Amino acid sequence: QVQVVESGGGLVQPGGSLRLSCTASGRIFSSYTMGWYRQAPGKQRELVASITNSGSTNYVDSVKGRFTISGDNAKNTVYLQMNSLRPEDTAVYYCNYRSYAQYWGQGTQVTVSS
């Protein structure tokens, strides 16, 4: 079993920044991918960014140049630095750990509003 815990959401004005953190614990394998997904009301959950244990990253087009995903393998932790936030970034953000199985965090609300 793997436990996934997120933190760092909140309310921010357009143009502002937030940093999300996610830590996986339990039965962690040496090869894994961790990622951030988001789900806005009435919309499907979408992948925002992901990173492998070797450091390869992937981003959805709408956040390229604004969001940065990074990882600390020693802590099994990933971060999502979100800059130049827009109202359309408002969503519940979920962390995902995927190796031989996948596990989800409980989600953290990000609201971008003036």
Could you report the per-residue pLDDT of 55-88, keeping only the tens digit for each? 999 999 999 999 999 999 899 999 999 999 999 9
What pLDDT score does 29 carry? Answer: 83
Q: Residue 27's pLDDT is what?
A: 86
Check residue 10 and give its pLDDT. Answer: 96
pLDDT, residue 33, reads 95
Provide the pLDDT for residue 81. 98
Q: Which residues of the chain have pLDDT under 50?
A: none
User: Residue 31's pLDDT is what?
Assistant: 83
**DSSP letters of the chain?**
-EEEEEE--EEE-TT--EEEEEEEEES--SS-EEEEEEE-TTS--EEEEEEETT--EEE-GGGTTTEEEEEEGGGTEEEEEE-S--GGG-EEEEEEEESSSEEE---EEEEE--
